[in-house]
Structure 1
Amino acid sequence: MQKAVALKYDFSAAPTVVAKGNGLLAEKILAVAKENGVLLHQSPELVEMLSTLELGEEIPESLYLAVAEVIAFAHKIKDHQW
């Protein structure tokens, strides 16, 4: 079953979970992200861990490195788009 987790990061605190879902809701989250030019990263293991968090909850310190790598990768890709 498809799963999706959306994070918000404003550089002032740890990223927070702003949307999550399974199945059709996951597909809708991904569609809205694509429509708004949000870069997507697929990591089933990370999504599995993030999906245990509540909406509005900051990611735990144990996931800082994994999420930081995704954010850095997204910024690198965004900076190199033509």
Structure 2
Amino acid sequence: MISKHFNHVNRRKLNGPSAAVIRYDEANGEEPQIVAQGKGYVAQKIIDLAKENNIHLEEDTMLLENLLDLDLGDNIPPQLYAVIAEMLLLIEEMERNY
């Protein structure tokens, strides 16, 4: 059987974008949490809203796949903390430089 979904680029072309939103409030001691997620039209709306509000978007296919497997309101598993920490440091650095 030949699959049309042999890579992420082709899958995105066929199915549209995917998106997940993480909320993290270190000041209140909260753990990172999934607050929105979607595919296709819903994902595009999430992406559009982020762009309209100058919210940084990070493209990490493997992380996104893991986040989409979680339910809304779930805390991010500790196994993903290192990847999320790297993203947050990158965002912080970008904000300082701009």
Q: Identify whether the pair has TM-score above 0.5, normalized to the shorter chain.
A: yes
How far apart are 1:13 and its partner, in Å?
2.1
What is the DSSP-based 3-state SS (H/G/I as helix, E as strand, rest coil) of the residue aligned with 1:5? strand
CA distance in 2 between partners of 1:18 and 1:49 (Å) = 14
Q: How does 1:50-69 map to 2 (within 5 A)?
A: 50-69=67-86
- Gapped runs of 5+ residues in structure 1? none
Q: Point out 4+ residue stretches in structure 1 off by more than 6 angstroms.
A: none
Quick check: which has more Rg, 1 or 2? 2
What is the DSSP-based 3-state SS (H/G/I as helix, E as strand, rest coil) of the residue aligned with 1:77? helix
Alignment of 1:4 onto 2:24: no
Match among 37, 40, 49 for residue 20 of structure 1 = 37
Structure number with the bigger relative contact order (C-alpha 8 A, sep ≥ 6) is 1
CA distance in 2 between partners of 1:63 and 1:14 (Å) = 12
- Flag the structure with higher helix content: 2
Percent of aligned positions with the same letter in both sequences?
35
- Gapped runs of 5+ residues in structure 2? 1-14
CA distance in 2 between partners of 1:24 and 1:44 (Å) = 18
How far apart are 1:36 and its partner, in Å?
0.9
TM-score, length-scaled by structure 1: 0.94
Q: Which amino acid aligns with 1:70?
A: M
1:74 aligned partner = 91
CA distance in 1 between partners of 2:49 and 2:56 (Å) = 11
Coordinate RMSD, CA, aligned: 0.8
2:48 aligned partner = 31
TM-score, length-scaled by structure 2: 0.79
Q: How many residues align?
A: 81
